[in-house]
Structure 1
Amino acid sequence: MASAMASIVALKGVYEELKSRMDKTAEDFRANLLSVRTGRASVHMLDNVKVDYYGTETAIAQVAQVTTPEANLIVVQPWEQSLVQAIEKAIRTSSQGFNPMHDGKIIRVPIPPMTEERRREGIKQLAGVLEDHKTSIRNIRRDGNETVKKAAKDKLISADDEKRANEEIQQLTDSQIKRVEDLFKAKEKEVMTL
């Protein structure tokens, strides 16, 4: 009886670890969605743009204040005036297609309306990111199933426990994949809405 109880506790630990890893993957996908361009300005649009800060590639938000005073404008105010031109160049050369301007102190980034083609391209890129995250979730499932299989092989759990654990892992995987797909669908709707 004690060994059966220990196996259930061990399986719960495996399940909790898998859930934690899958949650991190889903959270990473959600963070990726924030930087995707929509028709409105968002401070997160510049999250993936890095600037050379004393030899280190650094996120703009770590070296400047980023705000959106208007629906179609991002304002970047560097904490060090010497970074103005470097930040402007980093934004200009990013794949976002922005055309920033500066007055020596702050950088204004007008957000042009997105064309239908640009919207579709953004969704296509996002679909690739979604697939990567779904694959990551499935790989986490595989790790969990292998752990359960090894426990069964080592006679730490019964065949019934193994079957039940695999079913629970599959349910967790399905719910996490649905979670990232729902996030994708909501962002797709937001991007495609004119």
Structure 2
Amino acid sequence: MIADILAETTTRMARAVEAAKEDFATVRSGRANPQLFQKVMVDYYGSPTPLAQLASLANPEARMLIVTPYDKSALKAVEQAIRDMPNLGANPTNDGNVVRVTMPELTEERRKEYVKLVRSKGEDAKVQLRGIRRKSKDQLDALKAEVGEDEVARGEKELDALTRQHVDQVDDALKRKEAELLEV
């Protein structure tokens, strides 16, 4: 029973770390990257739809991205969704067939803002990991009557080690992203 709880916790924590890494990838660090637009939701016929499902993304230049909608009627909605995206500072232009997104040059001030944003996302990921840990600890505590306090105490030590390991993974990803952002 304890092993099952720990296995499920490991899976959930690994997913949380992957989600954090994906979240870090959506923060711009120099070159315009299609991953920046991963979280853009377009209002497509009244329902929010991920941009990747509505258009292809091409990266012809370092600071430019070309978004080609599969359905030309969605062109205005795609342009508006990109314009409304926070923390991007991009200026999309629509030529009737594609949306060209030119990314502004990263200034030192903008880089520092991005570092703050990434740190905030990292802290959110750690909070999520601690929430997973708390739920698992509650499940372990519920087993005290069945398996005994010693077994539960061993399980809690393993749980703490798992939590530490996954928090360290988030910290490592955060340090890499910060270094990438501050690199000129």
Q: Which of 95, 112, 134 is the matching residue for 1:142?
A: 134
Q: Secondary structure at the match of 1:97?
A: coil
The 5 A counterparts of 1:32-181 are 32-95=23-86, 96-152=88-144, 154=145, 156-181=146-171
Q: Secondary structure at the match of 2:81?
A: helix
Cα distance between partner residues in 1 of 2:101 and 2:56: 13
Q: In 1, are the aligned partners of 2:24 and 2:121 still within 8 Å (CA)?
A: no
Cα distance between partner residues in 2 of 1:158 and 1:90: 55
Cα distance between partner residues in 2 of 1:47 and 1:14: 32
Cα distance between partner residues in 1 of 2:134 and 2:147: 18
Deviation at 1:183, TM superposition (A): 0.7
Cα distance between partner residues in 2 of 1:139 and 1:85: 40
The runs of 4+ residues in structure 1 deviating greater than 6 Å are: none
Deviation at 1:71, TM superposition (A): 1.6
Deviation at 1:18, TM superposition (A): 0.6
Cα distance between partner residues in 1 of 2:115 and 2:21: 14
Q: Secondary structure at the match of 1:68?
A: strand
- CA RMSD, Structure 1 to Structure 2 (Å): 1.1
Identity of aligned residues (%): 34
Q: Secondary structure at the match of 1:100?
A: strand
Correspondence for 1:6:
none
Larger Rg: 1
Deviation at 1:65, TM superposition (A): 0.3
Q: Secondary structure at the match of 1:38?
A: coil
Cα distance between partner residues in 2 of 1:128 and 1:93: 21
Instruction: Give the TM-score, by structure 1 length.
Output: 0.90
Cα distance between partner residues in 2 of 1:92 and 1:142: 39
Select between 157-166 and 181-190 the one with higher mean Cα deviation: 157-166
Counterpart check, 1:184 vs 2:165 = no
Q: How many residues align?
A: 183
Cα distance between partner residues in 2 of 1:57 and 1:93: 14
Instruction: Give the TM-score, by structure 2 length.
Output: 0.95
Q: Residue type matched to 2:102 in 1?
A: P
Q: Residue type matched to 2:62 in 1?
A: A
Deviation at 1:166, TM superposition (A): 0.7
